[in-house]
Structure 1
Amino acid sequence: MTLKLSILDLAPVVRGSSGPQALQNTLELARLADRLGYHRYWVAEHHNMAGVASSSPEILIAAIARETRHLRVGSGGIMLPNHSPLRVAENFRTLEALYPGRIDLGLGRAPGTDRRTALALRRNPQALAADDFPAQVAELQAYAGEGPFPEDRNFQGIQAYPADVALPPLYLLGSSTYGAEMAARLGLPYAFAYHFSPEALIPAMQIYHQAFQPSRVLQRPHAILTVAAICAEDRETAEELALPLDLLRIRLARGISQPFPTVEEAKAYPYTEQEQQIVQLYRKALVLGTPAQVREQLLDLSQMVQASEVMITSNMDRHRARLNSYRLIAEAFSLTAQA
């Protein structure tokens, strides 16, 4: 089986740059990925983060799909607890109508932000405490005609228009065993965020494959492994390009919202011993090196967890280096360039 390669993008806003430039960089990367032969291009939903411009994935998906011809384009993911399932169904049916056969609907359970911002999004303190995700997914599937509405939601007869368009394929995202169990039970594709939660990779993927129940939409498990990777012509350059990720991890752990750091910022930062331990934890999950080294690591990881697809996320402070990283990885895997 040929390993499919895809891209997860957060539209990083680098120190000294801007949100509009980050979005233009995303469109340029998507056009390149389309030509290189990547399989799909997903954008993440995050809020109140100075270093992330992908707070409205539906809008960005439409722009990317318009700029490309071959890629599947979707959400990695829509953080469903932040939204009404009806509104999500309407948005993605509209996208499917505009770009038929090319849209994916990846769904996440986390808020994609801090608790206070989640409250600003949801407007209901009770919604923050309740784990309503399974019922929300069931409601979304009901709008697609793939099951009944939950018993406590009397929405029968309500349509998500345009009703004569299929809802795009659903994918469940996760960074723990929770999402793996749910995806297996529902017979849905599952994407695991290895770059975010490396310690949960093995148990989550084992549960997904062992507990998978065939469904109308999927007969066999389809596991996507999301990996942070940085590729360059030589390892020394790749190591330098990875330095901002170290500082980013510390800021995320401290709840600090700032633009994506530069190599120079990361070099100047005085890491404490505790911070160095945090960096080392995530460094173990970072795929880094020359094209041959990156290829070997991605193949080993995918085979270890039976992933049929690897979704690469590469955040760097230098846009040209980021484009080059994806180009080198495509060449290492001999992806088929598209006309």
Structure 2
Amino acid sequence: MLPLSVLDLSFVSSGSTPTQALHDTLALARHVDGLGYRRYWLAEHHALPNVASPAPEIMIGQIAAATQRIRVGSGGIMLPNHAPLMVAERFRVLEALFPGRIDLGIGRAPGTDGITARALRRREAPSGNGGDDFLDRLQELIFWDGGFPEGHPFGQIEASPAGVPMPPLFLLGSSDYSAQLSAQIGAGFAFAQHFSGIPAEGPMRAYRNGFTPSRLGAEPQAILAVAAICAETDEEAERLASSARLSTLRRERGEYRPLPSLEEALAYPYTPSERARIEQGRDRLHVGSPETLRARLTALAESTGADELMIVTAVPDQKARHESYRLLAQL
């Protein structure tokens, strides 16, 4: 059986509110916990009207408390926005409260626009790295779990709560860079096929082939994040997918509007070029009946060598969204 997991961005739907989106996240987490999903990951995005997920570490605690067995984690914490010590301590607290159920997924992107990213940063990145200090922050985060080299100024500090290990570490990415870095340090790897502009096979295979065991992990853990919408029939699934397709089209134009209703999406007057763009994006949104998706997702997992699939489903109707995850679980 190929394990299934959930990636939730807490989508804000047209006519609803960000507050309701957070409550929808809690309801979906309880739903999939009973369906046997392995993980439930929360994303970090800032100042975007279409998602309500700026603080995954808060939602992780809420979801872990509201569920029984599912692992809960970040997909991810955008490390350039945070002091590594604060990340280490927050996730140690979560691990202490919910031992063996927490994952720490780390991302390199800011999860927002440039101005908001600047407002989030506790310090400016060294100019010599082109403004990118991700590797420095990642190394520091790892040191907070395993100890700093002798003579390091932070070596005398003990991250709180003492005696609690860090959760398993995963690097997130949509290119070869994070795949190779994850392999080098022995961390888990999650590839964002749902928005990446390149095929998943290359980075996923590169990660597995280049994996070096370390104290972070003895074996590779390769997660493939995919966008999928399932319904009883292919026709119904295509109807439900109209909202996600219009939302993606708008996002590519820089319009981060709430997820449109099905009525709005079905009535939208697409131009020929817009329809062509939607057709080009069909490889990144997997839509269909259970049997259609069984064949498609199984083939994708085999071609990429994925250990599990992490499903993100953008449907404004929460009942239909719950049903999509239920049908996928039955596969």
TM range (shorter): over 0.9
> Superposed, which structure 2 residues align to 1:106-125 within 5 Å?
106-122=105-121, 124=123
- Within a 5 Å distance, the mapping from 1:186-205 to structure 2 comes to 186-205=185-204
- Equivalent residue, structure 1, for 2:21: 22
The percentage of counterpart residues that share the same residue type is 51
Partner residue in 2 for 1:322: 321
Deviation at 1:146, TM superposition (A): 5.7
Which whole-Å CA distance do the structure 1 matches of 2:22 and 2:106 have between them?
22
Measure how far apart 1:219 and its partner are.
Answer: 2.4
Please tell me whether the aligned partners of residues 229 and 240 of structure 2 are also in contact (alpha carbons under 8 angstroms): yes
Q: CA deviation at 1:226?
A: 0.4
Q: Which amino acid aligns with 2:247?
A: L
Structure 1 residue 123: Cα displacement? 5.8
Q: Which moved more, 1:269-278 or 1:191-200?
A: 269-278
Deviation at 1:127, TM superposition (A): 6.5
TM-score (norm. length: structure 1)? 0.92
Question: Which consecutive unaligned segments of at least 5 residues does structure 1 have?
Answer: 333-339
Q: State the TM-score, normalized to the length of structure 2.
A: 0.95
Deviations 1:165-201 (A, max 9, x none): 1111100100000000100100111000000115241
Q: Which moved more, 1:126-135 or 1:203-212?
A: 126-135
Q: Residues 273 and 148 from structure 1, CA distance in 2 versus in 1: closer, same or farther, beyond 3 angstroms?
A: farther
Q: Is the 8 A contact 2:124 2:131 kept in 1?
A: no
Residue aligning to 1:312: 311
| Structure 1 pair 291–146 and aligned structure 2 pair: CA distance change class (3 A) | farther
The answer (yes or no) to whether the contact 2:42–2:53 under 8 Å persists in 1 is: yes
Aligned residue for 2:284, secondary structure, equals coil
Unmatched 5+ residue regions in structure 2? none
CA distance in structure 1 between the aligned counterparts of 2:159 and 2:186, rounded to whole angstroms: 23
1:31 matches 2:24: no
The equivalent of 1:5 in structure 2 is 4
Which consecutive segments of 4 or more residues in structure 1 shift more than 4 A? Answer: 123-129
Give the letter for the 1:312 counterpart: I
Moved more, 296-305 or 274-283: 274-283
Provide Cα deviations, 1:120-152, integer angstroms capped at 9, x if missing partner.
211655469422112111101111016649x9x
Pairing 1:123-134 to 2, within 5 Å after superposition: 124=123, 126=125, 129-134=130-135
Aligned residues of 1:175 and 1:200 also touching (Cα < 8 A): no
Q: Which amino acid aligns with 1:23?
A: L
Aligned to 1:143: 144
Match of 1:335 in 2: none
Distance 1:147 1:305, change over 3 A: farther
Q: Distance in 1 between matches of 2:32 and 2:228?
A: 15
Q: Report how many aligned residue pairs link the two structures.
A: 329
Q: SS at the partner of 1:182?
A: helix
CA contact (8 A) 2:42 2:56 kept: yes
